Amino acid sequence: MKNSEEIWAIIPTRGGSTGLPEKNIRVIAGRPLLHYMLETAKGSLILNLIVLTTDNDDIARAAGQVSGVEIRRHDPSLSMSGRPTFGVFRHMLERLIQERSIVPRAIVLLRVTTPLCLPSDIDNAVALLLANAHTAKSVLSVTKSDVHPKRTYVMDENGVLSAREDTPERDFPLPRQVFDDVYIRNGAIYATFPDIVLGGSLWGDKSLAYVMPKVRSVNINDEIDFVLAEALLRRNAQP
């Protein structure tokens, strides 16, 4: 199989949503949610191919309203509730490689639930990956977490809280400045190499961070996320 210098983006979607029904096509700030990431991907200067794959007719129709994006279908069994998105991503990559008889230089997974992501975020994340291709296996978009893991609790069936054993908070809360910064994946961008994905991993054994600000890292999973994202999108649209 011939290697190429192309960079591909695959955007997996499914019809069902537990937290927010039909969220991928729900109208937000005047447009279906998925339109934002599709337009963001189209604005990228580094992507050669943008593919949205879905198991749902309504999503396919909504995505088809955006030109320049290839709409594909995958078997619904690959994206049943509770199954990782990785299966859809890997399946589509294998299919595209077989059809095109080339292997892209890098591959990017994008999610439509992060509508505030910018084209420059995609380009910068991929550029970071390519600049460190000899040492890194992937680049993940992250944002600084408001919650440090050492400040979290687990709760048993009786409602009794247990703190982490390594927490410095023994008898009272400590100022947040006491804790080191920690980061969480914001779900927007996963840039990696085809051999990593085909080998069964999304990010391999060494990932670099592409840090995005909180204002561009809203990942819509429920109604509160939706309201916040819509407010930010409307604010950004103001002249």
CATH code for the domain in which residue 80 is found: 3.90.550.10
Specify whether 139 is located in the same domain as 222.
Answer: yes
Specify whether 54 is located in the same domain as 158.
Answer: no
Specify whether 136 is located in the same domain as 32.
Answer: yes
Average pLDDT value for the chain: 95
Burial class from Cβ neighbours inside 10 Å (0-12, 13-18, 19+) for residue 185 reads middle
Distance of CA 236 to the CA centre of its chain: 21
Specify whether 58 is located in the same domain as 158.
Answer: no
Domain that residue 195 falls in: 2-143+184-237
> How many Cβ atoms sit within 10 Å of the Cβ of residue 173?
8
Specify whether 165 is located in the same domain as 50.
Answer: no
191-201 in b/e burial notation, b at 16+ Cβ within 10 A? bbbbebbeeee
Strand (E) or helix (H) holding 95: helix 86-100
For every one of its 239 residues, what pLDDT tens digit does the chain have, with 9 covering 90 and above? 789 999 999 999 988 766 687 899 999 999 999 999 999 999 999 999 999 999 999 999 999 999 999 999 998 888 767 678 999 999 999 999 999 999 999 999 999 999 999 999 999 999 999 999 999 999 999 999 999 999 999 999 999 999 999 999 989 999 989 999 999 999 999 999 999 999 999 999 999 999 999 999 999 999 999 999 999 999 998 87
Specify whether 156 is located in the same domain as 80.
Answer: no
Specify whether 9 is located in the same domain as 61.
Answer: yes
Specify whether 157 is located in the same domain as 218.
Answer: no
pTM: 0.94
CA dist 83 → 64, 79, 87 (Å): 25, 6, 8
Specify whether 91 is located in the same domain as 163.
Answer: no
Measured CA angle at 196 (ends 121, 116), to 5 deg: 20
Per the structure, how many domains does the chain have?
A: 2
pLDDT digits (tens, 9 = 90+) for 140-152: 999 999 999 999 9
Specify whether 225 is located in the same domain as 161.
Answer: no
Specify whether 135 is located in the same domain as 210.
Answer: yes
Compute the distance between CA of residue 163 and CA of residue 153 in angstroms, rounded to an integer.
5
Specify whether 192 is located in the same domain as 75.
Answer: yes
Are the C-beta atoms of residues 15 and 77 closer than 8 Å to each other? Answer: no
